[in-house]
Each structure stands twice: as structure tokens, then as C-alpha cells.
A and B are shown apart, each in its own frame.
Chain A
């Protein structure tokens, strides 16, 4: 029995989620078959095959970053190879493709899964109700199960090397996709700063002490791919403009990561950011209320932590 792993890549680069999906697949102790499709993807196969028993490569200019094309190619490969499980990321791409494959082939699908176990049948664990409840689900008996995994739940660091073979197959895609045409990637404008739309907010409070220190934080935000925001006093001091202010009277934000640097956590501020997926706080006062909403905390002087963190993230990002 084989496990398919759909390899996600973008603009010539493999996405981290692909390795997480490989890691999830390896845990099932079956043959791991990576599916790598797209245009000019040959070079990527070498990196993928390290962790797979086999990489099926479909190189076809018609695929051209089009999710409908990916879907149809995957449909055909599943029909041909009949894997027990197909794993892909619960990413924007996975959300566009996986349910379509499930209906095309009449297969059960479980999405945003945090654990996969084989308990006679395939059993998946999902984190629901804002992460406050875990739920186990069984999938209906079928030839193949489609599973999308949550980002960050299956560690790529646990991958073992397999160094399998690369198999190039002809593209099963017969014609161009016309009903859903890929136009291009667009980087949202950065001109106007809308902190409510940012995935990562690097937010500063009075702990940064001086306007002179704002550039330090700007650098960190830039390295992290985030946007700078702040608590009310920073606006009052005129160190940052009003549109950067987080709080019930400023802007209510829900980023994926909220990094609170030197913010004590006044109620109005906290009420404006508590919806963030992940809150990390750095403050020298261990009793600061911000820590009561944070998942991770560092008790230290922000002015020391900021440059250190900037350095470490630079190293990680290479």
C-alpha cells in the first residue's frame, strides 16, 4: 500500500508544508510516493526523493500553476496508482484542490488534521472550536482517503532519508484549462499600512523607551515579513502614526503571530489583539498582564531581545 504526498511548490521553490506532509506520510510506515507536478519541476525532484520511496514527476507546461490542472493530474494518478492515503497541506492550495479530488473520485476527505493513526481504519484527530477541543474521526471504508494536514503539526525535522527513485510519467492532462485561468501572483500593496491585514505583527510598547529604537524594531519586522504596530502610548508620544495602534479604540487585529515587545498589556490593548493565533510577549516584568494572554513569553529587556532575535531569524531564514 502506498501513501501519496502532494508536493506543493511555488515559483521554483518547495514549500515547507511539503516536507511536513512527507513527515506525516513516513509515520504511516507505507511506501511513500511523492507527486511532483508542474512546469519545469525536474530540479525539485532531487530534493524530494531524499525523503520518499518514489517521486512521480509530471512535467507539463499546461499545468502552469493552475490548481484545476493540478487537481486533474492528481485525479488521474490516484486512479492509476490507487494509494491508500493522499496527504497534502491544509494550505490555500490544499483547500482549493483536495475537496475537488474527493468529489471527482468519490473519496472521503478529512481536512486540517493534526494526527493520523491507523486503528483498523484510518483515524484522524482534528483540533476544533478554536483549539479548545480535540476530536477523533473515522473515515468511511474506501480505496483511498484524502487528508490535509495542519501546518506546523508534523515536524519536518523527524524525516528519515529514503533516497528512492524518480519516475517521470507523461502528463495525463489532455487540454488546457479554460474555465479557471491562472493570471499571476500579486504581492499586496505595501503603500498604505493596514495592520488588520497583516499575518505577523511586531508590536511595540513603552518598553522600547525611545523613538531612536523604532528602527531596530522595524528591522525585526522586515526580517520576519511582518508589519509594525504598537500600543497607545507610542502613538501618544508621536513615535508611530495612529493607524498602527492596536486596541479596542484603535484597530482590532487577528494576525497569525502577535509579537508584543515591551507592552505591559492594558485591558484595552489586550482586547484588541487577543484573537491572534499565537501571542508571544517580551517584557522585563514577569507580572505584566500581557503574559496572561501569551503562549510564549521571554522575561527580559526588549532592547536586548530585539537585536538578538533579529540575528537568529536572519540565520534561520538564511
Chain B
């Protein structure tokens, strides 16, 4: 019987209910270009031999986009089964070295990028506005949670700075955590390291309590998703193990939701913006779209920009093509061959004559920018976060 941390696999994932219909594989964004076959992996989970898992290198190909779970007619969670299978490998220490390094870095440095904790606030160095730091005694209504990638990746640091500009211009009372900001753990969980994730949930909930934080705006859909779903599940799990977790009702919003609310309240209007005469296409991130059904808020924000020509991908919303940036894929190339989804995506955008692909996720920004370079559209197309566009247009 296959077990994860002494818990029966079937008890966790109800794998016996799987009827091997293959809808999951049919919808999978990775199986198009790799040997990754989720129906087959479900079967391995049913057969329950740990050794079988080790032979499937492609288990690390999954981007955790969640479409298989959306499509499963039995309401099973194949994407969670993958996490479970990965955790078997994590327990045995048999993970690709790049995944190992990312996980070790989360444990040691509180980020998967192998960068020191003391440089987490480096993105703030070039800021021309004052920001409150909630870890240094400042108080604010909202925590702007930057996240690891937007703290360290030099390209995406620009998004973090744009976020600060925009929220400041809009008069939002917010602060950041600077060097003290922790890893949210979303990727650790998706890579199958649930022990590490438990530790982060415990530490982070205590940290939020200590710094008086209850309202959070996240840059990343991944942080949003994990704070709003996984943290609740794991709080329960930890409390069953006798570990006390502060009773905090976290009010977490992805920034596009937050901005859409400001629009409803009349605090963000077209009048506040300059004309933006560009053709823009919005790419739905999986963790906002497929996993959380947040389709309208980002579009609402973009639509009020005067002059913008907003076009849409044919594959959008819950059918949006995954950029292959998550589920540990930043630290594992995967076995896939042929054109990356991100390249296919920018080609699609090119057919739409889009001058800008706009995103609301640091991983999407990273993968699509790479795809744009590979496709050779550096001169004709830009990849920008919605925050960056707003920063440009806000008067």
C-alpha cells in the first residue's frame, strides 16, 4: 500500500475512485510535449508501489496548473495525487538536484532561489517613495506581500516597485515586511515537501500575528492561493497534531481583486489615467484562473485604461494555456521536448497583433519573457505585469 507520511494514499486522495477515463490526460498542458501522463500516474497511485514512482522522472513535469482536477468527472484531485507522489520521492531524498537545492534554500534562506535572506529587501533600493515596514514597528491596514521571485528576480523586482508606486498613488495604507518577509511555501508544497510547508505555515501564521497583520494583498497568485486554501487545511492538520496555530482570520486578496474593488468604490477611475494606445492581451495565470475562478478582476482593471485595445486569446480563462512556470518547474526543466507553451503563447499573441502580453503573476512574466526572446519578438512585443502598465498610465 502506498503511503505518504504513514497515511494511506487512498485515504488522502481516494485514488480507488479513479475510473481511468483519461480526461485528465486529455486536458493536460504538459502531456502535449512530454511523456507526462497523469492517467498513468493515477494508475501507479492505485497500484501503490513506491518503487514505480522512482521510474517516472516526468513526475516533475507537472506544472500544478490544476486543469486535471477541474476536469475530473469523479471530482478527484489528480493534481494533488502528483503532489503526493512527489512527496514519496522527497521523503526518500530522491529528487532532482535542482529541486533539492530549491527546497534546501527554502529551509535555509526562506526563498527557493538560493539567495540570502539579508538581500530580500534589495528590490526596495531603487524606490523613490517611502514604504512602511511592518516588521520595524510601522503599522498599516494592508501587508503588500511581495513573494520570493518578485523580491529577488531583477526583472520582476520592477513589478514590486511598480506595485508600490501604484498603491501609493492610490492612497492605500499599506506596508511591506522587507527582509523579514517569509516564503509563502506554495512551491515547497507543490514539490511535495509537506513537512517544510507545515513549518512555514506555523512560522508564518505566528509572524503575521506578531506583526499585527490580517489583511494581505499579494503580487503572486501562488501566494494568494496558498494563503487562502492550503494555510487553512494545514492549520487544521497541525492542530490535530497538537501544534497551536494563531487564530487569525486572514483576509487575503490578489492585487487584481483589490484593484477591482477600488474601481467599484470609485477610488480607481479612468480619469486618473493617461491614454494608453496599445494592443494588449491578458494571459490568465492558472492559480488565479483555473484554481480560483478569478477571471474578471484583472480584465476589469485593464478595461478602464483609456485608449487600450484589449484583445483576448482564443484559449483563455479556464482554458488558458499554462505557461509551465509553477509546480517546481522553475527548478526543473522537465522531460518535455519541442516548443514550450510560453513560446506557443507569444506566437498566439503575435497573431493577435498584441504589442503587450500582460500578466498578473511573476512566474508567467518570467516564462513568457523567455518565450518572447526565444520566438524573436523582442522588438515587437513586451511582456508586462498589470501593475507595470498601471504605473505607466496613472497620472
Contact = CB atoms under 8 A, between A and B. Distances in A.
A250 interface: yes
Interface in A60-84: none
Give the dominant DSSP class at A's interface.
Answer: helix
A172 interface: no
A39 B11 CA distance: 71
Interface residues of B, number: 26
B343 A236 contact: yes
B330 A233 contact: no
A213 interface: no
Contacts of B115: 271
A249 B329 contact: yes
A68 to B, nearest CB: 35
Contacts of B303: none
B155 A268 contact: no
Contacts of A284: none
A233 B346 CA distance: 15
A245 interface: yes
B153 interface: yes
B205 to A, nearest CB: 28
Contacts of A9: none
A236 to B, nearest CB: 5
B333 A242 contact: yes
Contacts of A268: 153, 330, 366
A245 B340 contact: no
A251 interface: yes
A267 interface: yes
Contacts of A193: none
B373 to A, nearest CB: 6
B374 interface: yes
A237 interface: yes
A181 to B, nearest CB: 34
Interface string B101-116: 1100000000001110
B197 interface: no
A250 B98 CA distance: 7
Q: Tell me which of B97, B115, B152, B154 has the highest count of chain A C-beta atoms within 10 A of its own C-beta.
A: B154
A297 interface: no
A289 interface: yes
B332 interface: yes
B370 A251 contact: no
Contacts of A251: 97-98
Contacts of B332: 249
B333 A249 contact: yes
Contacts of A236: 339-340, 343, 374
A291 B155 CA distance: 15
Interface in B126-178: 152-156
Contacts of B370: 232-233, 266
B224 interface: no
Interface string A286-304: 0001001000000000000
A232 B334 CA distance: 13
A206 interface: yes
Contacts of A292: 154
A23 interface: no
B98 A237 contact: no
Nearest to B342: A236
A37 interface: no
A160 interface: no
Nearest to A236: B374
Nearest to B325: A249
B231 to A, nearest CB: 26
Given A236-B374, A266-B370, A267-B152, A252 B101 contact: yes
A197 interface: no
Interface string A231-256: 01100110000100100111110000
A216 to B, nearest CB: 22
Contacts of A206: 373
B366 A267 contact: yes
Nearest to A243: B333
B139 to A, nearest CB: 33
Given A249-B98, A250-B98, 17 more contacts: A206-B373, A232-B370, A233-B373, A233-B374, A248-B98, A248-B114, A248-B330, A248-B331, A249-B330, A249-B333, A251-B97, A252-B97, A266-B370, A267-B154, A267-B155, A268-B330, A292-B154
6 contacts: A233-B370, A236-B343, A248-B98, A248-B113, A267-B153, A267-B156
